[in-house]
Amino acid sequence: MGRAVRLAACALNQWALDFEGNAGRILKSIEIAKGKGARYRLGPELEICGYGCSDHYYESDTLLHSFQVLAKLLESPVTQDIICDVGMPVMHKNVRYNCRVIFLNKKILLIRPKISLANAGNYRELRWFTPWSKARHVEEYFLPRIIQEVTGQDTVPFGDAVLATKDTCLGTEICEELWAPNSPHIEMGLDGVEIFTNSSGSHHVLRKAHTRVDLVNSATAKNGGIYILSNQKGCDGDRLYYDGCAMISMNGETIAQGSQFSLDDVEVLVATLDLEDVRSYRAEISSRNLAASKVNPYPRIKVNFALSCSDDVAVPVCMPIQWRHHSPEEEICLGPACWLWDYLRRSKQAGFLLPLSGGIDSSATACIVYSMCHQVCLAVKNGNAEVLADTRKIVHDETYVPEDPREFCKRIFTTCYMASENSSQDTCNRAKLLAEQIGSYHINLNIDAAVKAIVGIFSMVTGRTPCFSVYGGSSRENLALQNVQARVRMVLSYLFAQLTLWTRGMPGGLLVLGSANVDESLRGYLTKYDCSSADINPIGGISKTDLKNFIQYCIENFQLTALRSIMAAPPTAELEPLVDGQVSQTDEADMGMTYAELSIYGKLRKIAKAGPYSMFCKLINMWKEICTPREVASKVKHFFRMYSVNRHKMTTLTPSYHAENYSPDDNRFDLRPFLYNTSWSWQFRCIDKQTSPEVAWVLVLLLCQPMKKTRNG
């Protein structure tokens, strides 16, 4: 009959510019797909070179090595008798395009350039590529000699076309094109394309997966069809974690779901689907059929190959499933843990060092490392040979097998409590107990001698000795003395990271982990070049509210009872003197705002794109039950003053796992000045006009009145 097609979608942990490793993972995925009976294999976006090459795309070497890998793929017997769809950059007429190269049996069928480029948030594709703007147009592409020698072809089709096999028709989308309002699958579906493919480079953001799933399912709900999505996974060299989630959908329902977080470098999702289900689904949608009769046709590349077998009556087809989404707490537990694993093994370091303060943030970071150890032990137990090999390299033991997360944690994770005269015994005990429960190698040390030495040098040179404010010092003295403590901790962190394993008779060095959350960074509530300055930070894109929920998740799922007292304690920097042996300093009092307020400010500033005046206008409605307009004005002004005064700190922010769309990361995501006019005179004057006595009472009346219904509703 020729109606059951078997298709494969892949999630690959590619690494920017790792052409050797990338080629191996591509070949392995094709081999697995063929072994499972697939006749078509789809891989992630730009999988040959790795998505995150950034300005390396400008280099001719990147294009050259991509074609060298393509030649290797074409020559391999593994790629025979299966349509292979791979991603790489291609230069056509001196213009660089983000392309899919589709080939079969040593012949390139089509090079399809990306039409809609991703250029928002973390994406900068327009910096390196040009979108293909010639709809339904195909040109001749002259192949380089290394490809000609393999394929025997001088030119191949290049442009916006679809593939017509002996039994169906396939059309290509690339990542952003699914998200565009005029997605190509709409017109392609009307023109008879039955299978849509999408190769993605989509990164993890908390609570985002359902959006991608809904888009894929809705792509075929109105128009019918089969949709296959492949995505990159893992850390390919920067702040992003690409979260897999390969999927196959048909007629608006999910048929197959890949994992979002795993340590498997290669994951292949295969499903068998009945083409007649697509045709019968479409047949009864009269509006679709009327539109289809008027559509402009796509150029069709004829392929003498079938995705189905002639005798497939007895072949079972896959049935719809319910997509299983992770909770935000599970996402925090798994995503940053996988990112840390990729960073650790690819940096060839021997583990991590974390300044563990006994507070929520550093404890959350410790729990993520512990989760990583769990994932490693589970992967090895499930037979993942690559994870086992990487583990042995990290611990420098060719016979080692990680079985117990606590034992593995002891080998690769060092925690360090750095006490001062301003530290309480409570936080010391909390840090020690948590370290015992996760199994880390724990160090207790005191920094007072180093702090006194530094302040002593200052006093010897100037003849003046600064004091804390509780002892009569000014606010400048008070802040400077806090900063000295914080910066000493950063210096000691790196010293112990370099030499702790040496003292234990073990080889290698440790990566220093930071633990400033996204809200503190936004407010600038951190010392520049203190313990927030580290090699990487797994929680730098996560809010305090989400971290608290994650801590509760760890209490329940990892049985880390030490976290209960950490959760109950008020957040504090412990940089000012104790009062009667108790902590007198708290974060929220220091900041002049709560963490809950900070999350709201951050989302309005970045996601809602609100300046001071717009934020004020939104908050007087949001907070009308708890604040007067004058109080809202005061809060907004204070936030923007503190944000702008401290924005310069974002230029040295530790590279952090990107998890929130209101991240203040200055490197690529949140591009802003770092020298502001912190008076915001014009903006604040606009707010003041709305809170003047003659206007304020009108605002109060309007906010207190219920909305009147109009005649129509």
Asked whether residue 708 is domain-assigned, the answer is no
pLDDT, tens digit (0-9, with 9 covering 90-100), for 507-522: 999 999 999 999 888 8
End position of a domain, from candidates 574, 591, 608: 591
* pLDDT digits 0-9 by tens, 103-145: 999 999 999 999 999 999 999 999 999 999 999 999 999 999 9
- Active-site pick, 31, 45, 176, 660: 45
Same domain, 303 and 413: no
Q: Do 263 and 371 reside in the same domain of the chain? A: no
Mean pLDDT of 164-177: 97
Is 631 contained in some domain?
no
Cα–Cα distance for residue pair 601/609, rounded to 1 Å = 11
Is 543 known to be catalytic? Answer: no
Query: Which residue of the set 308, 357, 371, 533 is catalytic?
Result: 357
Report pLDDT digits (tens) over 300-334: 999 999 999 877 777 899 999 999 999 999 999 99
Residue 578 has pLDDT above 90, yes or no: no
Q: What percent of the chain has pLDDT over 70?
A: 96
Q: 520 and 418: one domain? A: yes
Helix (H, G, I), strand (E, B) or coil at 562: helix
Tens of pLDDT, residue by residue over 327-367, are: 999 999 999 999 999 999 999 999 999 999 999 999 999 99
Residues 239 and 221 in one domain: yes
What are the beta bridge partners of residue 174?
199
Residue 698 included in any domain: no
Looking at residue 709, its pLDDT comes to 46
Q: Which runs of consecutive H residues, i.e. helices, occur in 357-514?
A: 360-381, 385-395, 405-412, 425-438, 448-462, 475-503
Categorize the per-residue pLDDT at 524 as very low, low, confident or very high, splitting at 50, 70 and 90: confident
The mean pLDDT value for 77-95 works out to: 98
**Catalytic-residue membership of 357:** yes
Told to judge if 45 belongs to the known catalytic residues of this protein, a careful annotator would answer yes
> Mind listing the pLDDT tens digit for each residue in 4-35?
999 999 999 999 999 999 999 999 999 999 99
Q: Where are the alpha helices (DSSP H) in 612-680?
A: 612-622, 629-646
Q: Read off the pLDDT of residues 469-506 as tens digits, 9 standing for 90 and up.
A: 989 999 999 999 999 999 999 999 999 999 999 999 99
CA-to-CA distance for 30 and 16, rounded, in angstroms?
20
How would you class 193 by CB atoms within 10 Å of its CB: exposed for 0-12, middle for 13-18, buried for 19 or more?
buried
* From 49, 53, 72, 114, active-site residue: 114
Mean pLDDT of 428-451: 97
Do residues 501 and 574 both lie within one domain? yes
Q: Kindly report the CATH number assigned to the domain that includes residue 548.
A: 3.40.50.620
User: Does some domain include residue 46?
Assistant: yes
Write down the pLDDT at residue 713.
Answer: 39
- Where does residue 292 rank: exposed (0-12), middle (13-18), buried (19+ CB within 10 A)? middle
- For 529-575, the pLDDT digits (tens) are 987 899 999 999 999 999 999 999 999 999 999 999 999 988 877 77
Range of the domain at 349: 329-591
Please list, in sequence order, all residues whose beta carbon lies within 8 angstroms of the beta carbon of residue 665, skipping any fewer than 6 positions away: 239, 521, 540, 541, 650, 653, 656, 658
Catalytic residue among 169, 175, 338, 409: 175
Q: Is the pLDDT of residue 596 over 80?
A: yes
Give the least confident one: 141-155, 403-417, 510-524: 510-524
Catalytic-residue membership of 235: no
How sure is the predictor about 3, in pLDDT bands with cuts at 50, 70 and 90? confident
Single out the residue in 591, 622, 644 at which a domain terminates: 591
Please give the tally of structural domains in the chain. Answer: 2
pTM to 2 decimal places: 0.93
Mean pLDDT computed over 152-180: 97
